Chain A
Amino acid sequence: MTDAVAHAHGAAGGDGPAYTGWYAAGRMARGVAWAAVGFALGVALLAVVRNITGHDGWSKEASICAGYLLALPGWLFGMGMWDGWGREWFGHKVKHAPSDWGRYFSFCHDHKVIGIQYLATFVFLFLFAGLFAMVIRWQLLSPNGAILTNAQYNSVMSMHGTVMIAVAVAGVAGSFGNYILPLQLGADDMAFPRLNAMSFWLIPPVAVLLLAALPMGGWDTGWTAYPPLSTTNGTGQLMFNLAIITFGLSSILSGLNFICTFIFMRAEGMTWSRIPVFSWSLFAMAWIALLFTQLFAVSLIMVTLDRVAGTSWFNATHGGQPLLYQHVFWFYSHPAVYIFVLPAFGIILEILSHLSRKPLFAYKWVVGAFFGILGLSGIVWAHHMFTSTMDARLLKPFLITTELISIPTGLIFLAALGTIWQGKLWLRVPMLFALGEVFNFLIGGVTGIFLADLPTDIHLQDTYFVVAHFHYTIVGGEIFALFAGIYFWYPKITGRMYNERLGQWHFWLMFLGFNFTFIPMFWPGIQGMNRRIAEYTPDLQNINIVVSVMAFILGASFLPFVWNMLASLFRGERAQANPWRARTLEWQTTSPPPVENFPVPPLVTGGPYDYGVPGAAVHAAPAYSAAAGD
């Protein structure tokens, strides 16, 4: 990053004053202070209203909600939204964020800075939630629970699940979506740079709320927050609700931004059929984030209202319907898996094509498959509810729509195979991760069939079979792509090469650790070992010990990764502008790119993947001078 800073420092536009990191620290302190003021104001306002209507002024959960409602804008505006945006609403001139390293900690509008902010945040959160997974596996070494009380186990399991879901939602899309999408399209930024900064700075309150939930007793509903448990448990649950609603807002705004960027910010000559597949995958993903996320917010708003306002959405004793929650929740949360996995497919196909020096197989079919997935994603949600006592007439239709999803995903899988078929594979670390992902996703997809089919699902519902399956799709299918992307774009983002040998260690430890953890895990699932439970029957101890030991190896695989990333930042070999000799636009500018991305607005003249195609026009000419890069 030192490089990125030095580079952009010289190129940053003239109107930002020369700030230091103190500016950033000061703005953050101002954000916290205004959040505190907002919180106090919200609590006070509610107290006034409650007094007028004849209640006690302070009611724990309602007061927290009211305070948070004003604390959130307080944080955002104090943090920099007021300087760079809000001033305009009142007819004042805006002020700019710092242009030195302090911008990584500021309300900076540059999509590359925001991409790095997302990447650093979510890699950290991934490792953090990974530690919780290690604790879970330690606990399960013994059938009676090795270290935690049952209540602690519930909190640890919930924290692991919730944070990992957040990583899955924003880890790939937030980081590479923001950093790479405008570069691949030949744009100088996202369509709404300020909205983009706002999307990112909504994330710290999410993390603070989730952490604040722990001393309040945590929450024991996992990430799914099913009532009636979630409407009757401790205040930690409320923190979870507020955190996830905030996170949803961030997702929705990002989705909006991606769509507008994709449609309107393309360079001259970037016709629909010349857009790289990763950008297409983000476009399809963004519609899910934009539309379906609202339903997650609705479901949690209903839970929150039941808790603080006495409504009875889910309170069966007053005529509520707990099943309604599952419908609303899964209406978002099934499509959410495509928020995870669509950009992951995009990265994988991108890398497979560039590093096997072959055209992307069936490019147009792949894009069609993305939209097939998008279309089907909204009509499959009840496959999570086969054992929930919902109307039996719904079972078969949802079985069929769920099975249909294997058509577009199968197409993508075949496109991956077709791309590497007879290619000259360049087995560098990103390629290894990409191939690993294809393998993992095959297992994830095949085991999914047993959960989509009613007869087997009724037996496997809520067991470790489900846990192993969704780890194959989310970790195997997305997190492997996240790491593929990190290694692939590391030279572009930092201007340095990562260490190949350490990267290979990371891949093999992670790939073997992952598969040897989760393949054995299907077995206790088939035997009926319940997920989310702190204890299990003693006859399953041996297999659980195997799973735990393998999980520790998986955990250890991130040590070489962290060392590699940090050490290479300072000591890595200087990266060329285009170390992979790839055709797409992000490689046709310097590493890292200047603030305006391309010194010359790019002109696109051909397809992105025409490797070895005789007579194919170039995608775009390099936009850097010989002195600046290669």
Chain B
Amino acid sequence: MTESPLTTGQRVSSIAHDFGVFRALTARGMMRMRRIPALIIPAIMMPMFFVIAFSGSFSALANVEGFPTPRVINWMVPYAILQGASFAGMGAAGGTATDIEGGFFDRLLLAPCRRPILMVGPLGYSALRSLIPTTLVLLLSLALGADLPGGALGLLCLYVAAVGVALLFGTLGLAFVYKFRSLKSLSIVQIFIFGFMFLSIGQVPLALQSGWLQHAARLNPMTNILRLSRQGFLGHVTWHGTWPGLVAIAGLVLGFGAVAYRNLRRIVP
């Protein structure tokens, strides 16, 4: 037997190993995205269009009593950005579904790292890539006349909310993909995104809504996340406007994450 560094037991420590796998999986996602730009382009174009279309179509909302800002675009930007982030966030699930269908996921499952890392790695990719539409849509909106009276803190809230939304739909997507093992199952996640985003204060504040929608939007955790992302565009950042959004993100990510993890562990020991 020849002696090699490996047979003498040389491996990195367990924490360094897990972190290395996390970093490699995130980087692999970004690499795939660079090689197939079509994976990210819709998540950029769609929110850009939403900013233009929503603030153009509904510019007259500013005349309605109770609408919180004279600039309708300020109201619409965070909504469009969170839409973009939600689609960008599905990247984790899309990549994993492709891996499962193509068999590559077996290679990842065979890695002697802790199982949650196999989830967290792609989510890192989701979070990272959600910064792309967020930043581009923000720049476009500023060029179109949006402003950010909440300053740097407002900006931070926007980015935290966008990354949070990417993570939460990323975990939801993983929960479906681990269960159904197909790319197709992601169309169900799109319906979830549609519901979460639509039955909220996306386009119109609670005060202007009526009946059933108002009830639904009040209960929808996305409403709190939208408030978090939007406060810097409407005025100053307050703790009161911040913590409910953070709680909503943490709650949903952990909840969906638990389901996803359970589904992953059903596949393999």
Instruction: Report if A and B associate in a common complex.
Output: no
Chain B interfacial positions (CB closer than 8 Å to A): none
Chain A interfacial positions (CB closer than 8 Å to B): none
